[in-house]
Chains A and B, each alone.
Chain A
Amino acid sequence: MKVLIKAALAAGLALSAAPSFAQDTIKIGALYPFSGGLALLGDESFRGLEIAVEERNAAGGINGRKLEIVRGDAVDPNQAVGEARRLTSVDKVSVIFGTYSSSLSLAATQVAELAGVPYFELGAVSDPITERGFKNVYRTNPTARMFANRMVSAVAEAVAPALGVDPKSLKIAIIHEDSLYGQTVAGYQQARAKEMGLNVVETLPYSAKSVDLTPVILRLKSAGVDVVLQTSYQNDTVLFFRQMKEQGFKPKAVMGAGGGYSLRDTMQAVGAENMEGALNVDFTQFRTNPKAAPGIDEFVKKYEAKYGMAPRSGHSLTNYMGAKVFFDAMAAAKDLSGPAIREAVMAVDVPEGTTATGWGAKFDESGQNVRATPFLMQWQGGELVTVFPPEAAVAEMKTGVGAQ
């Protein structure tokens, strides 16, 4: 009997000791799609956050308090809302990091905003996430509009000089798959091209489920298009490159907006020699000049040591960079309440070229990082290498697409 009582007392002591330990940590929510169709890149994104947290904890945490990750699995927008509620009300996390997918972020940020919990978006590109007048939502990564602007500017700043022609003399075509992603990016591209006085001769939406893009290619061919800007998924990218070759259409440059253009599978299905020279605008990838992106090589080393494989995409790097920026802001804030974090985030001032993605950090009133610019990359010899801007480039940009 005495033994039992002693055991019970010991257990009671152990229980009462637990909360005092928890007070020494800061709970942060990690809201990503960990299962379902988006899981691969959702998990890849999370790994960036995880490495950033371990690094921070090893260096003493935030003002002496260690970070503790609480995961939320957001498979679809409904579940994103449910998990955001759980994180804010049951687990009582101080802040939430996420989300990879725009539709998940749009849903989850509403919950965080109502609960007054700061939400740090590290990877979703849809512009409206930071355009709804929310006070607790911040984003480090570039938006769809920034992707579109970079693509159109790159025509004038990189493609035209490489060809040695006046940008206004180039005939540009915008083609895109006709779901929200393609529509959004193409809309911004048109606006930007008009602003810059460039000559857009064709804008052609098509279904990503098309089994034949020959009519699109023949239209581009008869219009004498020089530069094609495509916003696409994987299947339609493969189809476009194959049929472009079959129809003998050889534009001077083809540029993609991430999506299908960034994936190694696409290059393999198309063939390295046919994908040669294809340009692409996306988050910072690993073949980037470390002088413009200090820390990128160290990140890859840490990643390989922890997961035993090379990073599967640039998503981890993007999340890593964003998480570090926000950790610094959390450390600078006088407490972790919404208004204090906002004050600290607004004071962030990181120059470009000093983070592992090469981006800087400076937030506008909407919470969007205005110093995040996606780089221009190119497929060369089966590798996606950064070619523009010059300080981030590791290779010279080539002109033309496919075997010459």
Chain B
Amino acid sequence: MDVLVQLILNGIMLGAMYAIISVGLTLIFGIVRVVNFAHGEFLMVGMYAVYLLSHHFGLHPYVSAVPMVLMLFAIGALVQRFIIQPLLGADEHIQIFATVGLSTALINLALLIFGADLYSVQEPGLRKPLSIGGYTVLYAQVVIFVSALVLVAGLHLFMQKTPLGRAIRATAQNRNAAQLMGVRVDRIYVIAFGLGAACVGLASALISPLFPVTPTIGTYFVLTAFVVVVLGGMRSMYGAFLGAMIIGIVDSLSGYYIAPDLKEVVYFAIFILILIFKPTGLFGFGRGTE
């Protein structure tokens, strides 16, 4: 029983981490309709930047969350403007290849600059276990969990209540109609891509104390993030959040009760079942929206 509670707690913490990364991917996927294979590499770039800021300027990783969000927003916006935008009219395979190419280029750039060694942000205080009624969570994990909740709620309010949010939703629902209503669709895409990347900027600052950074660190997270996005129904913030929680808990439980190397089998099996029985995802808008 003790182990079960610890595993579920652990899964929720893991889920919160996936949630922050997946929410960004959902924004890009749901609004710009581009499958961003370089998403994990955005995370990697952010983590290297957090490491450099912490190593050379002694900046606390949580303080560097602010510059990271801004930097990744800029990178995302530039990628949209100069790589994706020229390809918007092209076949979607070409857009996918563009992001795959970007991903490969970034990984190799990191290898060139930093080599294959790993670098770690030295903030052992954030890895201190907090004991809650005999169960262990880390200080940094709690911060990630709270941030994930705030991020999802904040993005939801932003989408529902602000004019820009409404314009983004309008663009996502019908690009041509939005354009006719005077929404500058190109600019909306740039902002949406930037926002998606900015989420990863936040994630990079929050998970740096937990994971050392290597050129391939992005690939550790991104496949799971794609599963979460589809599970959550492509466009829904809450869907992505709940999807991430489900994957996190399944990951944790199956790693213990089945086998650590079979946990991917378990959640991909769930994924396939959902695609068969509910192709629009658990919280999808129905077949017509895609």
A residues neighboring B (CB under 8 Å)? 37, 40, 178, 204-207, 209-216, 218-219, 222, 234-235, 238-239, 242, 246-248, 265-266, 268-269, 271
Contacts and interface: CB of A to CB of B under 8 A. Distances in A.
A218 B116 CA distance: 30
Interface string B125-160: 001010000001010000000000000000000000
B212 A269 contact: yes
7 contacts: A206-B260, A212-B14, A212-B251, A215-B255, A215-B260, A216-B260, A265-B118
B7 A218 contact: yes
Given A206-B261, A207-B264, A212-B10, A271 B116 contact: no
Q: Which bucket holds chain B's interface residue count?
A: 35 or more
B247 to A, nearest CB: 11
Contact of A37 (B6, B111, B118, B210): B111
B115 interface: yes
A209 B138 CA distance: 21
Nearest to B14: A212
B234 to A, nearest CB: 23
Given A204-B259, A219-B256, A235-B118, 20 more contacts: A40-B115, A204-B261, A205-B261, A206-B255, A210-B220, A211-B220, A214-B10, A215-B254, A218-B6, A218-B256, A222-B3, A234-B214, A235-B220, A238-B212, A246-B129, A246-B138, A248-B129, A266-B118, A268-B120, A271-B124
A215 B119 CA distance: 25
Given A209-B219, A246-B129, A215 B116 contact: no
Interface string B196-221: 00000000000000111010010111
A248 B2 CA distance: 14
Given A37-B116, A214-B10, A238-B118, A248 B264 contact: no
Nearest to A182: B261
Contact of B118 (A206, A234, A248): A234
Nearest to A37: B116
A209 B116 CA distance: 15
Nearest to A239: B211
B95 interface: no
A248 B136 contact: yes
Given A205-B261, A271-B124, A246 B136 contact: yes
B138 to A, nearest CB: 6
Contacts of A269: 118-120, 212
B236 interface: no
A235 B214 CA distance: 9
Contacts of B254: 215
Contact of B260 (A213, A222, A234, A238): A213
B51 to A, nearest CB: 11
B91 interface: no
A246 B254 CA distance: 20
A215 B212 contact: no
- Chain A, interface SS category: helix
Interface string B230-244: 000000000000000
A207 B221 CA distance: 13
Contacts of A40: 115-116
B166 to A, nearest CB: 36
Contacts of A266: 118
A82 B241 CA distance: 51
A205 B260 contact: yes
B159 to A, nearest CB: 29
B264 to A, nearest CB: 7
Contacts of A234: 118, 214
Given A40-B116, A222-B3, A216 B138 contact: no
A114 to B, nearest CB: 33
Q: Which 10 A-B pairs have the closest CB atoms?
A: A215-B255, A206-B260, A215-B256, A269-B120, A205-B261, A178-B261, A209-B220, A269-B212, A214-B10, A216-B260
A71 to B, nearest CB: 22
A210 B217 CA distance: 10
B260 A211 contact: no
Contacts of A178: 261
Which of A211, A216, A238 has the most chain B CB within a 10 Å cutoff?
A211
Which of B116, B221, B256, B260 has the most chain A CB within a 10 Å cutoff?
B260
A302 B36 CA distance: 51
Which of A40, A178, A234, A235 has the most chain B CB within a 10 Å cutoff?
A235
Nearest to A209: B220
Contacts of B260: 204-207, 210, 213, 215-216, 219
Contact of B120 (A209, A210, A238, A247): A238
A353 B6 CA distance: 50
B252 interface: yes
A44 B10 CA distance: 41
A37 B108 CA distance: 10
Nearest to B256: A215
Contacts of B117: 265
Nearest to B263: A215
Interface in B1-46: 3, 6-7, 10, 14, 17
A218 B138 CA distance: 16
B14 A207 contact: no
B104 to A, nearest CB: 14
Nearest to B224: A211
Contacts of A205: 259-261
A246 B219 contact: no
Contacts of A265: 117-118
